[in-house]
């Protein structure tokens, strides 16, 4: 069991998101980087349907109140046990002992910008990526709302009381007595959403793209930098996208999906993320493919972004291929050597 001593920039309990309530204004929510969430869960023998802690930019300081196993995946935000000088790198499951803490010493602070900078962070090290996931055995034990343990910040429900973590919050594992996974390590060489690459983009539906003719091509041609990011979306800095203001003004609200690139009235592209509102009235310039959403979820302030075109058929193949890759890597995990001796010796 862990207790929050001081929260990070934005820590929320997430699973894969809400499958109910989309027609009631409930965003999908869930992990912005579902791949890394699944890695953190799988390191502890759990399916991605259990909940983990999503941390953003700079992480919390957590007290270990009861010895347990934790797994980390995603960006390296410098997780370590200060009392032992032991690192908790992403892609590992490790035992943490009661009386010690988990602190995050790297990553980027709220101002973003250069990776090695950091607001109020000492000994910052360069990192890539923006979000990291901490898993507990059996998932984080919080009640389900609308069938999910994700946090709906807009509705203030789900996850841990519908909000970001605060000092004093307790995180309980679903299987508190399960200490069986320490030393597991996710195989290297597989897909890694933290390693940025061009995002593959499909054209938008005709009705939504119409008022932004030329915007799809402009996205492909340009180089963009991430401006502001939150769980709803990320703004891209760069030349404004072309849009027919009058036609755009006539668009009425309809459903949108994470990955859609909206065009604001001033031409700013905004790529929708997990907490995006379920409906929108802005033109859409293009749609990032499902297989690339984890990479989208690892973009932080100041990151460079490029897009490339893809066909719908290849987009579907990419998604299936990613799922298969995950299964193959997870299978190697179970057959890998035990690291228990090393982990226990360090503790």
Partner 1 sequence: MTTRIEAFGEQAFLVVLGGGVDPAVNRRAHRLAAALRDDRAAGGPWATPVPGYESVLVRFDPRVSKAAQAQRRLERLVERVDPAPTSPGDPEADQDTDPHPIVELQVRYGGPDGPDLAPVAERLRLSQSALIDLHAGQTYQVFLLGFSPGFAYLGPLPEALRLPRREVPRPRVPAGSVAIAELQTAVYPAATPGGWHLIGRTDARLWDPAQTPAGAPGPRGSHPIRAARPLRPLS
Residues at the contact surface with partner 1, assessed by CB under 8 A: 19-26, 145-147, 152, 154-158, 202, 204-208, 250, 252-257, 259-260, 277-280, 287, 289-290, 312, 315-316, 319-320
Q: Which CB sits closer to partner 1, 182 or 280?
A: 280
Q: Which CB sits closer to partner 1, 58 or 278?
A: 278
Q: What are phi and psi of 219, to 5 degrees?
A: -65, -45
Residue of 176, 149, 192 lying closest to 329 (CA atoms): 192
Q: Which CB sits closer to partner 1, 206 or 341?
A: 206
Tokens at 156, concatenated? 């203030």
Shortest Å distance, C-beta 246 to partner 1 = 14
Tokens at 294, concatenated? 């984890």
Shortest Å distance, C-beta 250 to partner 1 = 7
Q: Which CB sits closer to partner 1, 114 or 207?
A: 207
Shortest Å distance, C-beta 259 to partner 1 = 6
Q: Which CB sits closer to partner 1, 225 or 319?
A: 319
Check residue 168 and give left, alpha or beta (phi > 0: left; psi -120 to 50: alpha).
left
**β-pairing, 86-87 with 68-74?**
unpaired
Residue 313: CB partners within 8 Å, gap ≥ 6? none
Shortest Å distance, C-beta 310 to partner 1 = 9
Burial class (CB in 10 A: 0-12, 13-18, 19+), 28: buried
Shortest Å distance, C-beta 237 to partner 1 = 23
> Rounded to an integer, what distance in angstroms lies between the CA atom of residue 232 and that of residue 170?
26
Q: Count Cα neighbours of 51 within 13 Å in the Cβ-side half-sphere.
A: 27
């Amino acid at each position: 069991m862990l207790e929050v001593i001081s929260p990070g920039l934005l820590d929320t309990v997430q699973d894969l998101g809400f499958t109910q309530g989309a027609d009631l204004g409930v965003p999908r929510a869930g992990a912005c980087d579902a791949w890394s969430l699944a890695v953190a869960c799988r390191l502890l023998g759990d399916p991605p349907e259990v909940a983990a802690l999503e941390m953003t930019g700079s992480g919390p300081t957590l007290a270990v109140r009861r010895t347990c196993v934790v797994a980390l995946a995603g960006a390296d935000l410098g997780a370590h046990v200060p009392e032992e000088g032991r690192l908790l790198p992403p892609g590992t499951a490790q035992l943490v002992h009661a009386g010690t803490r988990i602190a995050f010493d790297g990553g980027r602070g709220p101002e973003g910008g250069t990776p090695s900078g950091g607001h109020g962070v000492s000994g910052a090290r360069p990192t890539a990526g923006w979000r990291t996931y901490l898993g507990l055995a059996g998932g984080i034990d919080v009640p389900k709302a609308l069938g999910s343990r994700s946090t709906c910040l807009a509705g203030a429900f789900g996850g841990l009381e519908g909000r970001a973590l605060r000092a004093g919050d307790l995180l309980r594992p679903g299987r508190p007595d399960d200490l069986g996974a320490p030393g597991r390590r996710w195989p290297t060489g597989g897909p890694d959403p933290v390693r940025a690459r061009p995002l593959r983009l499909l054209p938008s539906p005709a009705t939504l793209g119409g008022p932004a003719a030329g915007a799809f091509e402009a996205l492909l041609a340009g180089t963009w930098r991430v401006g502001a990011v939150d769980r709803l979306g990320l703004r891209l800095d760069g030349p404004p996208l072309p849009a027919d203001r009058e036609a755009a003004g006539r668009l009425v609200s309809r459903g949108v999906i994470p990955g859609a690139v909206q065009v604001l009235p001033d031409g700013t592209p905004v790529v929708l993320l997990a907490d995006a509102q379920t409906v929108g009235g802005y033109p859409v310039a293009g749609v990032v493919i499902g297989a690339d959403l984890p990479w989208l979820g690892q973009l932080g302030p100041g990151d460079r972004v490029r897009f490339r075109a893809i066909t719908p058929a290849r987009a579907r193949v990419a998604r299936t291929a990613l799922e298969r890759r995950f299964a193959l890597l997870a299978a190697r995990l179970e057959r890998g050597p035990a690291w228990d001796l090393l982990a226990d010796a360090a503790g």
